[in-house]
Chain A
């Protein structure tokens, strides 16, 4: 018995050592930038004087009173919500349609993942060429078919940036959900079938409830990821016309690098961090409680 206790004590001591190492690593890698950022949020730092001096809550006041921040925040929330719903919805449909095919041909998953492998900035450049009224192959073929669509025009640019995000990240949602679908034991599926649960019935009463944790996770991951969208929109539209496609990340980038209001940029990103953390905590609680 005493040898068991000694073993447990040793284990505890060893794990504490590992934990200390991990804490130091996290403290350096995450803690330092966080502290520097927190300071910048309360300082009048500039590129010429990176230390700055304390100015209290001025940066936060400027950030919160700037209508452009709310506009960008509104864009990001709307964008994230729409993209997430489309991505997860399409992914779910694809999972159920393609499941039998993927069981026999698993290499197809790799093919479906391809859009995810392209960097978002490159995706922006690609679509800038593909959708251009003159150089783009899509408008040219559509025009030949008698459908003139101006994808990058002011009226359709919002839908276009949403579509690009959905095209690129639906594979991610698909990957998670397809894995969740495959973890549903065949015995359960078979038992359901014996009890008469087939087709829609099986989907709604067996698979979807069992896949719920994965669905919640993928909803939140995609929401947060789409919320901080930057690359392809910046490359494609520069956040315009006007501020029509300025996401909160583009807004922060411009505040920091272009307007060089470092403190305000940091204040907005700190507010954003708090919002994101709240969302993550809520998501995790939801998942844990459901489970």
Chain B
């Protein structure tokens, strides 16, 4: 009798344990690698696993592909129906591409979410009326400059005179230095020339600026604020391709002038984010246009002691339409093939609350926070206020920039424009190639 009771008890305990583990689900998140967002996101996951995850009986873990070819690998995986990850990355510029492989999450975007994440950021994750991702990072560009050098340029008469000489000699106009807040792209070029050692032996930096001209689609996003500030767009309202325009030619000429005059490192044609940061951070360039993600890095005395305390931030230089900055958000959405849709939704709903988003910001991520939580983190992350302001005032998305063809178009532009900047291609064929490609892409 006793034996059968013990057996029955053991069986009941075993069944309870089994049923508990059946309800328990581990979700896997495929995320975008790279500091500081990576370490910040790990902290957020720790918080989830020790709080809401425990209550949901769910645990979240993250996997990172390499950044090189990340999107291509993710596309291959989702197209093949992979269930290896439940939560996946989406971005403004490829939400149309990944939407067929994702689950819309409009049901978790409640009014409470808008109290935490700015509404226009959530709009950047919308495709054909449906929201596909909770935006975790806002990406746009700042003009990063060395305050100490620019201040000296604005006050030192000898430097001012030299600035006028160099601009007259190379650009044909005698120019005067201005505050970076007031720069046009012509000021950007003139200042880059002034701070280039080969043109001005007194320059404290080897190069005026550092351009990112690797054959890489993200570098085109970084550049296209030049063309947009002169009114450049991918298409007009009727859908005609408007790349071969004065605005695009002007934008392309800005990089070309800087490259031809060697005011950027000679190997800039292999540069992307990391290389540009190392040049600016080592004190070898006076300013650069860079993604907002670099701000925490330049405020880290261990990483870039040369720059800490001397970093100035402002908007990109102005064209005829004023300053413009490309902006997009990165976000997390749900893999359509995931077998853990509910758990994934629970995780995303939790992610869109104030506590994890503020933690993410505190640890170095750049979430597009709404006004109230932004005010709470702004003391530690003053550039985040600037980000909100810049996105609202200067942010643009090219007409077609969220379509399923956007990534391919950026890549095609990268091939052709980097070729032009470095002298491998002429301007007219480069523009023609892009126009032909875009016409074909949008026609399909």
Contact = CB atoms under 8 A, between A and B. Distances in A.
Q: Counting chain A CB atoms within 10 Å of each CB, which of B100, B267, B423, B425 scores highest?
A: B267
A151 B235 CA distance: 38
Contact of A240 (B76, B266, B282, B419): B419
B408 A260 contact: yes
A48 interface: yes
Interface in A105-137: 121, 128, 131-135
Contacts of A234: 68-69
Contact of B269 (A132, A237, A257): A237
Interface of B is mostly: helix
Given A237-B214, A238-B214, A257-B76, A152 B267 contact: yes
A153 interface: yes
B418 interface: yes
Contacts of A257: 69, 72, 75-76
Contacts of B284: 134
B278 interface: yes
Contacts of A154: 266, 269, 422-424
Interface stretch (B106-114, B138-146, B325-333, B409-417): B409-417
Interface stretch (A216-224, A241-249, A266-274): A241-249
A50 interface: yes
Nearest to B259: A154
Interface string A154-171: 100100000000000000
A242 B420 contact: yes
Interface string A221-262: 000000000000011111111111010000001100111100
Interface in B240-286: 265-267, 269-270, 275, 278-279, 282, 284
A254 B72 CA distance: 9
Contacts of A237: 214-215, 269-270
Contact of A152 (B79, B269, B282, B420): B269
Nearest to B81: A50
Interface residues of B, number: 38
Contacts of B421: 241
A151 B265 CA distance: 12
A134 B215 contact: no
Contacts, number: 104
A256 to B, nearest CB: 8
A242 B425 contact: yes
A198 interface: no
Interface in B387-444: 407-408, 411-412, 414-416, 418-425, 430
A238 B420 contact: no
A286 B193 CA distance: 59
Interface in B292-306: none
B282 A157 contact: no
Contacts of B418: 240-242
A25 interface: no
A259 B270 contact: no
Contact of B419 (A151, A244, A259): A244
Contacts of A204: none
Contacts of A47: 75, 79
Contacts of B416: 242
B72 A240 contact: no
17 contacts: A47-B79, A128-B270, A128-B275, A132-B275, A132-B278, A152-B266, A152-B269, A157-B270, A235-B68, A241-B269, A241-B421, A241-B422, A242-B415, A242-B419, A258-B411, A259-B411, A260-B408
**Interchain residue pairs A-B with the least CB separation, the first 3:** A242-B419, A240-B215, A152-B267
